[in-house]
């Protein structure tokens, strides 16, 4: 049984999210027309602030579908996935899955992938800071020790494995007038996002590099992770993969497996 206060909060929360003013007349001292106008101020605040948060997090999706469509999409999302926390940095994480299921978005199969890319960017941006290892460590250790070691990934590192050209579409929208006539949206793209210091780096990767990083993330010894990768992708270019990893700050620590 609700207390009177809990009862009024339950009714108001329902009224705000569901656009119905049911039960509010007994709580507030206004006639119907005035109540409507006054509750609208709070309802606008709720939807305006939350759809702004979604739009800040997914600016390229907003550009791709246009303001009006985006706002309607954001409102549907908010109603189905209202935030559970006051920390807006965690809000909107289910949006890519929501987009992939939303009927109005079905004709744009790359939309959910671009949303996943933007979410990975957000997570990368807000992740724990850590000092990356430099390429120098490869020289210091030598190949034999390096291969027998376990590498620790940078806490900001995120893998984006898309069936569509999510990175190219995203990049095309970083300028004023995007032109993606040259992009084949149906090309699968793999990306690695990492923030070694304050600037976020976007690395073009391939399925082999993604597999290697995934194995490293699981804690595999480097030699085993490489074997696994070469087995599936015999053409894998290890030297350039390691150079890319160390020069972009993918790793923060290296140790022998027993440590």
- Residue among 90 and 187 whose Cβ is closer to another protein: 90
Q: Considering only CA atoms, which of 156, 123, 132 is closest in space to residue 251?
A: 132
Q: Which residues bind another protein (CB under 8 A)?
A: 2-6, 8-10, 12-13, 16-17, 26-30, 33-39, 41-42, 45-46, 49-50, 53, 82-90, 125-129, 155-156, 195, 198
- Residue among 123 and 134 whose Cβ is closer to another protein: 123
SS3 71: helix
Q: Considering only CA atoms, which of 154, 244, 217, 158 is closest in space to residue 193?
A: 158
* 245 contacts 251 by C-beta, under 8 angstroms: yes
Q: How far is the CB of 123 from another protein (least distance, A)?
A: 9
Q: How far is the CB of 127 from another protein (least distance, A)?
A: 6
User: Who's near 8: CB < 8 A, 6+ residues apart?
Assistant: 27
- Residue among 45 and 256 whose Cβ is closer to another protein: 45
- Residue among 167 and 195 whose Cβ is closer to another protein: 195
Q: How far is the CB of 84 from another protein (least distance, A)?
A: 5
* 41 contacts 79 by C-beta, under 8 angstroms: no
- Residue among 24 and 172 whose Cβ is closer to another protein: 24
Q: How far is the CB of 177 from another protein (least distance, A)?
A: 25
User: Who's near 122: CB < 8 A, 6+ residues apart?
Assistant: 57, 89, 92
Task: Give me the residue label for tokens 């709720």.
Answer: 46
- Residue among 194 and 242 whose Cβ is closer to another protein: 194
- Residue among 28 and 180 whose Cβ is closer to another protein: 28
Q: How far is the CB of 125 from another protein (least distance, A)?
A: 5
Alpha carbons 91 and 25: distance in angstroms, whole number = 32
Q: How far is the CB of 144 from another protein (least distance, A)?
A: 34
Q: Look up residue 104 and give its two tokens.
A: 């109005």
Alpha carbons 71 and 236: distance in angstroms, whole number = 44
Alpha carbons 70 and 61: distance in angstroms, whole number = 8
Q: How far is the CB of 32 from another protein (least distance, A)?
A: 10
Task: Give me the residue label for tokens 């994480």.
Answer: 93
Task: Name the phi and psi angles at 137, rounded to 5.
Answer: -65, -30
């Amino acid at each position: 049984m609700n207390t009177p206060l809990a009862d009024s909060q339950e009714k108001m929360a329902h009224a705000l999210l569901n656009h119905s003013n049911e039960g509010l007349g007994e709580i507030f001292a206004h006639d119907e027309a005035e109540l409507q106008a006054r509750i609208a101020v709070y309802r606008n605040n709720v939807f305006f602030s939350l759809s702004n948060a979604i739009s800040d997090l997914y600016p390229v999706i907003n550009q791709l579908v246009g303001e009006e469509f985006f706002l309607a999409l954001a409102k549907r999302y908010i109603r189905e996935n209202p935030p559970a926390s006051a920390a807006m940095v965690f809000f909107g994480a289910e949006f890519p899955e929501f987009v992939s299921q939303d009927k109005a978005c079905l004709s744009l199969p790359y939309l959910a992938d671009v949303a996943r890319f933007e979410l990975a960017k957000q997570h990368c941006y807000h992740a724990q800071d850590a000092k990356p290892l430099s390429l120098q460590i490869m020289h210091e250790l030598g190949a034999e020790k390096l291969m027998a070691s376990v590498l620790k990934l940078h806490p900001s590192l995120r893998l984006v494995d898309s069936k569509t050209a999510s990175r190219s579409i995203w990049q095309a929208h970083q300028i004023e007038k995007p032109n993606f006539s040259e992009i084949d949206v149906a090309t699968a793209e793999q990306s690695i996002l990492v923030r070694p210091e304050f600037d976020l780096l976007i690395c073009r990767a391939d399925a082999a590099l993604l597999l290697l990083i995934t194995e490293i993330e699981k804690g595999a010894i480097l030699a085993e992770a490489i074997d696994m990768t070469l087995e599936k992708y015999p053409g894998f270019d290890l030297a350039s993969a390691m150079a890319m990893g160390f020069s972009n700050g993918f790793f923060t620590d290296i140790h022998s497996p027993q440590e």
